[in-house]
Amino acid sequence: MTLSLAGVAALLAPHRLEILGGFHPEAAEAGLPAETGTLLLIGPAEPGFWAHLREQADWSDPNPIDRWSRQVIGRLACDLGTKALFPFGGPPYHPFYRWALRTGRVWDSPVKLLVHATQGLMVSFRGALALRERVEVPPPVDLPCATCAQPCLSACPAGALGAAGYEVPACHRFLDRQQGSDCLNGGCLVRRACPVSQRYARLAEQSAYHMSRFHEGWDKTT
């Protein structure tokens, strides 16, 4: 099979997934399969991803989204004769943060979270495809933060996320209080403040799900 960017995108589309960026690794790059010619980063495509996932995933599984991602992207990789890589399942973990920065479509935002050209601070990765072939990748674009008023810097009501980075315990303590209900039920206010995020059709119920899982996993003894 002759692989192309458009061909891979067409195979992802029925699963409401899309290519968020890619790059051509240097020879024998650490962390990647041997002879990887192209790495494509895969993530949700909205509108439609959350509704599709709600119908397809096994919600009795402790990690339904990760399991679904392994099944779908792993099966696609097998069909294409490529290798699937995932941001979960470690340690050790694959360096998705570093890989994302190499695409020219994802950057280190003013609050140190990744920001994507079209998904803003709502960006997330479900996996990656390591192709032997060197295929076209989505072109780099200009950093949106350069011309933005950067409301993300002052959006956190707990003062837990800003230019200095993320103070995770302070975030969790705020979510424990009544004042944190908006963040917990509608998603992180910093992520929502990003103008690019606001143009991306991610549903509040999806953000609420991830926030609840994030908060439930916090060890309050730390």
Q: What is the pTM of this model?
A: 0.94
- The domains of the chain are located at 5-139, 145-216
CA angle 41–29–128, rounded 5-degree value: 15
Q: pLDDT confidence of 1, banded at 50, 70, 90?
A: low
pLDDT value of position 26? 84
Structure tokens at 162: 């800003």
> Per-residue pLDDT tens for 160-175?
999 999 999 999 999 9
What average pLDDT does range 122-144 have in this prediction? 96
Asked if 99 contacts 39 with a C-beta cutoff of 8 angstroms, the reply is yes
CA 209 to the chain's CA centroid: 15
Q: In what order do the strands lie in the sheet with 83-85?
A: 17-23, 38-44, 127-131, 83-85
Q: What is the DSSP string of 52-104?
A: HHHHHS-TTSSSHHHHHHHHHHHHHHHHHT-EEE-S-S-SS---HHHHHHTTT
Residue 222 pLDDT greater than 60, yes or no: no
Joined together, the tokens standing for residue 173 give: 């303590």
